[in-house]
Amino acid sequence: MAVDIKMTPPSAGEDKAWMTIDGRQVPVEGERNILEVARKAGIDIPNFCYHSELSVYGACRLCLVEVEGRGVVASCSTAPEAGMVVHTNTQRIRRLRRLTLELILADHDRECTTCVKSGACRLQELANRFGLDRVRFGERDGREPVDTSSPSLVRDPNKCILCGDCVRMCSEVQGIGAIEFAYRGSETAVVPAFDKGLGDVDCVNCGQCVQVCPTGALTVRSETERVWEAIHDPDTTVVVQMAPAVRVALGEAFGLDPGTQAAGKVVAALKSLGVDRVFDTTFAADLTAWEETHEFLRRRKEGGPLPLFTSCCPAWVRYCEQYHADLLKNLSTCRSPQQMMGSVLKRYWAPRQGLEPDRVFVVSLMPCTAKKFEAARPEFVREGCPDVDCVITTGEAAAMIREAGIDLESIPEEPFDNPLGMGSGAAVIFGTTGGVAEAVVRTVAGIVHGQDAPRVDFTPVRGHRGLKEATVDLSGGDGKGESGDRVRVAVVHGLARAGELVRAVKEGRVDYDLVEVMACPGGCVGGGGQPVGPGETRAARSRGLYRIDRRSQLHRPQDNPHIARLYREWLGEVGSHMAHEALHTRYHPHRRIEGVRATASTPAAAGAAAAGAEGDAFAAAKVPGEPLEVSVCVGTGCYLRGSHHVLRVFNRLLDERGLRDRVNLSATFCLEKCDRGVSVKVGDRLITGVGPDTAAEVFEREVSGRAAGPVETPGRRQG
């Protein structure tokens, strides 16, 4: 069929190319593929594996279309061309799509009524859309165990459809690759490294894999039952703190537009559930900005270490601990707002209410799955009592509200409880990328210029660009004053971009004073616990936070009278012993993947099996009664330099010297000294440049004497 191509001159003065989709002419305006052009024309081509923010994968084959002269092609991986004629809904295409869906369902756990994603599952939606009322093929032969090792996420391989969305998100956007394809053919599966649990690999708990998973293969680990139990316990006072980003997203689960301010309705709903108090995490965000600003100014005065990296995002902190331990000294010692609020509630608020801290159940309502991991960190547990007892996400809170039969849209609004229910506009924008940096800038302006300081809207760090840079003139001038007055700020979101920025800082290619990092795209508005939404949804949530900021009478953290009261009644001055104990912490290097024990019988196998194992380059010194920890790196660089031979020598000498019970020998990855030969970690000592010819000498000098001699006194782990 011949088609006339109409060329309509646009306002820019250049001709547009046109193509025909289902009989309609549609302009081609820079779209990457046919699927994007069809979406622009209002045609929804079904797919599982296509996301505009990820690479084109083309695995699911649902987006097939017919192109005249070419036949059936995948619309996600076929570039649009002028004159192309596309049919998206032919009889042949419909038959192929239904067959594809049936094949997916044949290998899928079809217990939909008990699935967390029921009602929001893309596979369920498409099965209904194409009228699949039966599957002609049999069900899967057996069930794989469900992975519950992560404190934040649950992985159910029985519901995985091999779309690869989680793999690409973790690798491309987050730069981690904690989950990947393994095996071949019908055995292909998506698994963490070495088929370990998510909690045993270098997952940072960000939950972005949950955001892109179309089925229930990856979901948030629910803690709603713990909250219900606390609510129904008459001897427990249940206190909820709500993060800024939740108020502009939770309403989406009840039909409200993204970005709609719903804080008052959420507070009312939580009170209806039986919660005793609802406080605003923006109070703690003001506290964080105040403490972090003074930390930054002190570092500038004392000469570093700079740049100061923010520490509000627990996924970023975990990433830094695992991949850039040498930069932990640059990480702010400030706790995140969640943990500051938990500390204030347990140590300040509870005693003043005549309550025992262990009878106050603090629930954090967060947009972030990594907050679950953060709340369980030992740094935030005092005498067996955690500062935050439980973390629920935006989605979990919505589920609880629905379960209670509450109509969020019609419920009358209620205010937060005071004195911990008030925050400034600067605290509200913590929920979007750039918000923490802007809050610090506003705080600095208030310190420099006093109460008469004008309103500061630091727009250069706003928006969802991957990297934003700006310079602030602390003198209040035009930004061209003395170098000592200028502060160079960088804002980055997404851990892959953060990794690139960190490498640039280390190599001296960039020079900043303050760097804000958020793991999730868009910041907390795009957290792993938020309702699933594309980039425009995240942008709408950010705009909602900025609207709240514009309407707030409190512009800077120091404008919050309850912050001043907290220092006056409890903390004393900034930098006091109490402030440091209650509001600050220290982070330490952590292993990436749990190590694999190397045994005498399988030295070579241990090296091969652990090629992605533990990467703790800061192992603790030998402690009384415990074996000496010895790790041999089997990362690619070390393996090629003979680390498997080193392991074999060490294993032989352990048996010959009778030290098997006094030494824990493991293969590990990675000790991050790949340019210096095989790396070996003995207790707290790193030895580099070891080779097959020197392995025996190193063993006698570094291992044999320490393992057979007097037991060392344990030392504090150094970062």
Return the residue matching tokens 């029921």.
118
> How many CA atoms are closer than 13 Å to the CA of 716, on its beta-carbon side?
5
Hey, which residues are catalytic here?
292, 295, 312, 332, 371, 374, 379, 524
Cα distances from 160 to residues 59, 121, 456, in angstroms, run 13, 12, 48
Q: What 3-state class would DSSP assign to 634? A: coil
Assess contact for 208 and 528: CB atoms under 8 A: yes
Q: Which residues of 225-253 are buried (b: 16+ CB within 10 A; e: fewer)?
A: eebbebbeeeebbbbbbbbbbbbbbbbbb
β-bridge pairing 308-309 and 277-280: unpaired
For the stretch 343-357, what's the b/e string if a residue is b when 16 or more beta carbons lie within 10 angstroms of its beta carbon? Answer: bbbbbbbbeeeebeb
**List of residues 6+ apart from 688 with CB closer than 8 A:** 673, 676, 677, 678, 679, 680
C-alpha pair distances (Å), 225 with each of 228, 235, 278, 347: 5, 17, 19, 26
- CA neighbor of 533 nearest in space, from 338, 262, 245: 245
217 alpha-carbon distance from chain centroid: 18
Sign of CA dihedral 260, 263, 264, 266: positive
Nearest one of 142, 146, 23 to 88, comparing CA atoms: 23
Q: Distance (Å, rounded) from C-alpha 379 to C-alpha 387?
A: 10
The strand pair at 218-220 and 153-155 is best described as antiparallel
How many helices, marked H, and strands, marked E, lie in the chain?
24, 24
Neighbouring residues of 264: CB distance < 8 A, sequence distance ≥ 6: 413, 414, 415
Answer left, alpha or beta for residue 455, where phi above 0 means left and psi between -120 and 50 means alpha: beta
Give me 600's structure tokens: 């005498």
Cα gap 44→53, rounded to integer Å: 18
Give burial (CB, 10 Å; 0-12/13-18/19+) of 425: buried
**393 φ/ψ angles, rounded to the nearest 5 degrees:** -90, 175
Helix, strand or coil, per DSSP, at residue 633:
strand
Six token digits for residue 361: 């159940």
Longest Cα separation, the chain: 90
CA distance 232 to 255: 29
Q: Could you count the other beta carbons within 10 Å of the beta carbon of residue 661?
A: 9
Cα separation of the two ends of the chain: 70
Q: Are strands 385-386 and 467-473 parallel, antiparallel or unpaired?
A: unpaired
Tokens of 217: 């293969």
Concatenating the DSSP letter of every residue in 659-684 gives -TTTEEEEEES--S-GGGSEEEEETT
What's the 3-state SS for 429-471?
Answer: HHHCCCHHHHHHHHHHHHHHHHHHCCCCCCHHHCCCCCEEEEE
Please give the full DSSP string across 390-409, using - where no structure is assigned.
Answer: EEEEHHHHHHHHHHTT--TT
Residues near 309 by beta carbon (within 8 Å), at least 6 away in sequence: 320, 327, 330, 331, 332, 515, 516, 517
